[in-house]
Amino acid sequence: MVTWGRSHTGSDSARVVDLLRNVQQIHATHTAFAAILNDRSVATWGDQDMGGDHTAVMDELRNVQQIHATAYAFAATLADGSVVTWGHPDMGGDSTAVQSQLRNVREMHSTHGAFAAILADGSVVTWGHAKFGGDSTAVENQLRNVREIHASGAAFGRWKYCSMG
């Protein structure tokens, strides 16, 4: 892998260049990158406050299946269906308020500053900045049996499965 561009926006991958020979997936915030490696661990680089530094959660990032990004934070889904987040805390990098609910995650989506996770039972958990969809309490009763979520820059929409019987 080769990186280039403005140095403070993730172009300087020298710190992790040796790890970037075994990359499965790469995702980016506005100023940082996160790569899933062959061993399902993660390497990050770029702006440390915006997801380029995952050292606080590095021990939790094992068996990573997927990474999603807001403009300022990352969320990784692990093989056991749990989620690990890092990056700007107000923009999705801090999921502690909903961490106990983030089990059996089936699918995740993101806006500019929030994440939404569909759980195996069809319910939805959101976190991040409220102005970007991180607070779904006003519609939480409608977020059951959800099949799909779509995201714009600042909002989520859901498709609820309806039986035609």
Instruction: Check residue 58 and give its pLDDT.
Output: 94
Q: How confident is the model at residue 115 (pLDDT cuts 50, 70, 90)?
A: very high
Instruction: Check residue 86 and give its pLDDT.
Output: 98
pLDDT tens track for 122-155: 999 999 999 999 999 999 999 999 999 999 898 9
Instruction: Check residue 14 and give its pLDDT.
Output: 67
Closest alpha carbon to 86 in 109, 112, 67: 67
Instruction: Check residue 94 and give its pLDDT.
Output: 98
For the chain, domains (ranges, CATH) are 7-160 (2.130.10.30)
Inform me whether the pLDDT recorded for 102 exceeds 50.
yes
φ and ψ of 14, to 5 deg: -55, -35
Exposure string of 103-137, with b = 16+ CB inside 10 Å and e = fewer, is eebebbbbbbbbbbbbbeeeebbbbbbeebbbebe
Instruction: Check residue 165 and give its pLDDT.
Output: 45
